[in-house]
Structure 1
Amino acid sequence: MNSNEDMQRVEEARDVMISALAQTMVIYGVTPSVGRIYGVLYFSEVPMSLDDIKDEVAMSKASVSNAMRELLETEMVIKVWKKGERKDHFIAEKDFMRNFINFFVKNLRQERSLFMKANEQAKPILEELSESSSDEVKDIAKQDLENLNNSLDYFDWTMRLANAFESHEIFKYIPKTKDK
């Protein structure tokens, strides 16, 4: 085979992997187009501008820009400076373990935050009703308070888990690689 044919085969293999990355990211709630952009950056040998990415994935610049914002928030891509260029350029964070930890911890903290805000609003109402209402309402309010309090154990555990991921303490118990 000649060099052009070999390069075409490399591109085909990359396309397969980029598609797999995009499909995999759907599992984590990321759209396939964002996953595809990450895949393109992952296999890029050089930093890419928004225009470069737009051309590669055949999406509008606005869509690419929104996707890049999402990828930057989760630290899956990094903005880099390219000498002599005014445009922003981006590279992929290629450490899947780091990507997973950033994404997972961000979602755990967001889940806890949403629940704790709701808890702050609901708990005083339920406490009041558990003390000064009809027996039926008191019983329901007390049960709901018990459920809220029981859920706090879960959120305490998830925060300890998130902290163990961020500090890499988790790797003492589950190493990144298996011993060979």
Structure 2
Amino acid sequence: MDNGQEQVQQARDISISAIAQTMVIYGVTPSVGRIYGVLYFAEEPLSLDEIKDEVAMSKGSVSNGIRELLDIEMVIKVWKKGDRKDHFIAEKDFFRNFFSFFVKNLRMERNLIAKANEQAKPLLQEVQQESEDEKARELAAKDLEDLENTQVYLEWLMRFSNAMESGEIFEYFPKGTKEKRDED
């Protein structure tokens, strides 16, 4: 490897390290971030064995990391002619990665809260309507009001998620362009 190729690899290593550190912010382990970084800079789809060699991890750990990346749609499984092994490429659109990750998590949050509200609401209504304890009725009424207020948040959360998924969010927060950055 000549000096130019070594410098390219050094620059890639720096970027892969930054990607891995950034993914920690979003709750993804650094090792999974390194797998993504290696695939991001790969010039062709890589097999689990090839990824394992690049990141110096066990095949099981790489397999788990790939599964996690597939789940959050940051990696795509591809077919490679003449090879029976699975191969993978990185989704390079950071906007898509960001939206996919957050939409999934926001919808999970919404579903958890909505389900809890559905379970809690009848209990509170029963206390409010049937309890002889005035303090319990007041607490139930207050909690029911709080649950109704969360509904506003849950509806906003769905609109926000839908706007990210559809790309409508770019009407309010444009991506910008490389040309504009070059002007600055």
TM-score by length of 2: 0.93
Residue 183 of structure 2 is aligned to residue 173 of structure 1: no
Structure 1, gaps ≥5 residues long: none
Opposite residue 120 of structure 1, the aligned amino acid is E
Deviation at 1:24, TM superposition (A): 0.4
Secondary structure, counterpart of 1:84 in structure 2: coil
Q: Deviations over 1:149-177 (max 9, x none)?
A: 10110110010001111111111111111
Deviation at 1:92, TM superposition (A): 0.2
TM-score by length of 1: 0.95
Secondary structure, counterpart of 2:150 in structure 1: helix
Residue number in structure 2 paired with 1:159? 158
Structure 2, gaps ≥5 residues long: none
Equivalent residues in 2 for 1:49-64 (5 A)?
A: 49-64=47-62
Residue number in structure 2 paired with 1:74? 72
Given candidates 102, 106, 109, the residue that maps to 2:107 is 109
Distance in 1 (alpha carbons) for counterparts of 2:121 and 2:135: 18
Distance in 1 (alpha carbons) for counterparts of 2:92 and 2:44: 13
Deviation at 1:130, TM superposition (A): 1.1
Distance in 2 (alpha carbons) for counterparts of 1:33 and 1:177: 31
Opposite residue 64 of structure 2, the aligned amino acid is N
Equivalent residues in 2 for 1:18-167 (5 A)?
A: 18-133=16-131, 134-167=133-166
Secondary structure, counterpart of 2:2 in structure 1: helix
Deviation at 1:131, TM superposition (A): 1.3
Q: Deviations over 1:11-66 (max 9, x none)?
A: 11111100000000111111111111000000110100001111111111111111
Deviation at 1:124, TM superposition (A): 0.6
Identity %: 66
Distance in 2 (alpha carbons) for counterparts of 1:176 and 1:155: 26
Given candidates 10, 13, 35, the residue that maps to 1:12 is 10
Deviation at 1:108, TM superposition (A): 0.6
Deviation at 1:9, TM superposition (A): 1.2
Secondary structure, counterpart of 1:87 in structure 2: coil
